[in-house]
Structure 1
């Protein structure tokens, strides 16, 4: 997919692109500098032209609304949301605090072996974030807790990121009845049926911690046993 913005490009007369953080499907995330404050930020961009379904845009707007209502030290701060029109496209932008660190998935890929004490500490920190989210009225259910969405800083502090908007455009995410539900292997049984409850996040966290301990994804652990029983896993779409 063609990048929507290039290095050093300035968006909305304010945000200067530094580099691309990630790209998947119809969404791209950039690191940028807010020229008004000299602060480094993360900008998620979704293009109407590159998107082939309105649901992606709906989920993206919902993420912005949810983040704007949250206030927790270990959830990246919402900073801005805007749209820009050109002759042949409309683009949607979500600006957040840029969290330094690496995801648990990146750390494992780099052969990091967490100790039992470190895994317990990560669990405690994420649980504290979930207590905050689930205590809101109505509760905010993340729906896509996985190693890629848990960022660990060098000092051990943990952030929870990606609140269910553009996640639907990445591989290994599926939708049931048009509603985004999460990532195969980390979803609870009720999520596979298209329903979520606060406990669904706890299931996903447990799967993430198992991955951290074993360096094997839930699908890698389950598939051999399911295959022996003649059970076929659904194919991810999107």
Structure 2
């Protein structure tokens, strides 16, 4: 498989083949993603039988001065260490990171299931829109994950939120995947992202077009979050930030595309999509409350909510008898002790 070329004639690394083994532990199955500076592979963990991982490959641009490449690799190791400490149900667990020659690798849980872009495309092919309550349940989970990232010390930005980076597991849980553009906001420090890039134009705010010299903060993730919800609810990609800056009318009102969207939902999403960061919600929590209000607690995907024992009593007669039997036994024991 020939390697691709970037505009600066920098050659991407030659992709690994099925059966290749890294670090004596990870056996490559296939490529499951490909970006500007490397691939993402599905691999078997040979040390833990049955465990599958996603290996994100990063090669730093060797056309840069040696000191910059060295700094980029050091930054990768620092940020990979930070990611390995994260533990949240809506984020894949980073379990390992290492280098092989000029390549760096980040090892994460492999997340099965379809990404939200695929689910949106299926709805579009059927001439339908995704259900608003379903999308809001996804938004609620994503908000929890981003609040967790932004509350780290220092805060962590994802910087590449989009439908294809959100996967729904078979149990209905949403996972924010691909830490390719993660940026750790160390105060007063110029940082280099784990994987240089600008994100996907449709969901990228104006301030992020400057790369690491841009003044990105948590409101940059909020813009991408809002743009992602716009796309999911309308089956229509939003006009990108540069186009909107030049032609403000290019962003089509959501209800004009999908009349079923509630005014509250559209208003909250457009607030998040403001071009200037100061005009957006100041935090993910503020956006979450604007989007969901009192529904924040109730709209969580039902599979992720613990069920009360009474839920079983009304739907399973055998369990009803079991619960009554257990209750009667406990009551009898308490009565005997109190005599």
Same fold (TM > 0.5): yes
> 191, 195, 216: which one pairs with 2:208?
191
Aligned residues: 215
Instruction: For 1:69-148, list aligned pairs within 5 A.
Output: 69-85=85-101, 90-111=102-123, 113-148=129-164
**Equivalent residue for 1:20?**
31
What does the per-residue CA deviation read over 1:34-76, in whole Å, with 9 as the maximum and x for residues that have no partner?
000021001112345x754438756644552331121112211
Does residue 182 in structure 1 map to residue 199 in structure 2? yes
- Between the aligned partners of 2:116 and 2:62, the Cα distance in structure 1 is 29
Tell me the alpha carbon deviations over residues 179-201 of structure 1, each in whole angstroms, 9 at most, x when there is no partner: 75533231234434611222221
C-alpha deviation, 1:95, in angstroms: 0.8
1:30 Cα offset (Å)? 0.5
Instruction: Return the alpha-carbon distance in structure 2 between the equivalents of residues 217 and 152 of structure 1.
Output: 20
Determine which structure has the larger strand proportion and give its number: 1
- Structure-1 separation of matches of 2:41 and 2:169: 19
Equivalent in 145, 156, 161 of residue 177 of structure 2:
161
Q: Distance in 2 between matches of 1:19 and 1:47?
A: 19
Q: Is the 8 A contact 1:102 1:152 kept in 2?
A: yes
- Of residues 53-62 and 107-116 in structure 1, the stretch that sits farther from structure 2 once superposed is 53-62
The question of 1:44 aligning with 2:44 is answered no
Would you tell me which structure has more helix in proportion to its own residues?
2
Q: Paired residue for 1:236?
A: none
TM-score by length of 1: 0.77
Task: Determine whether 1:218 maps to 2:238.
Answer: yes
C-alpha spacing 1:222/1:108, structure 2 compared with 1 (3 Å): farther
The gaps in structure 2 that reach 5 residues or longer are 4-13, 184-191, 251-339
| Compared CA separation, residues 105 and 129, structure 1 to 2 (3 A) | same
Which structure's CA Rg is the greater one?
2
1:79-129 CA-to-partner distances (Å, cap 9, x unmatched) read 1111123xxxx2211111111122222322334642011111011000111
Give 2:227's match in structure 1, choosing from 207, 210, 222: 207
Which 10-residue stretch deviates more, 116-125 or 67-76? 67-76
1:18 aligned counterpart, secondary structure: strand
The normalised TM-score by structure 2 is: 0.55
